[in-house]
Amino acid sequence: MFNNIGVSGLVIILAIALIVFGPAKLPQLGRAFGDTLREFRNSTKGLADDRTEDDKDAV
């Protein structure tokens, strides 16, 4: 999805985020995004682990 975004595109996105949210909110938004991404990864890993255990039990 983000394979085609170059450095210039990333700079533009960051500049727009800075204008919209302001410099005080950006660290909070980044932290919240990181926490959300970490929770999503943990959930999907848990689902994959459950699936693997189910496959082992079926054999």
Quick one: which of 18, 16, 34, 37 has its CA closest to 26?
A: 18
E-strand ranges in 1-59 read none
Each residue's pLDDT tens digit, 1-54: 557 778 898 889 889 988 998 888 888 988 998 999 999 988 888 777 766 666
Q: What is the pLDDT of residue 1?
A: 52
Answer with the residue of higher pLDDT: 59 or 39: 39
Residues 6+ apart with CB under 8 A from 13: 5
pLDDT of residue 38: 92
**Which residues, including other chains, have CB under 8 Å from residue 21's CB and lie 6 or more apart?**
29
pLDDT classification of 59: cutoffs 50, 70, 90: low
More confident residue, 57 or 32: 32
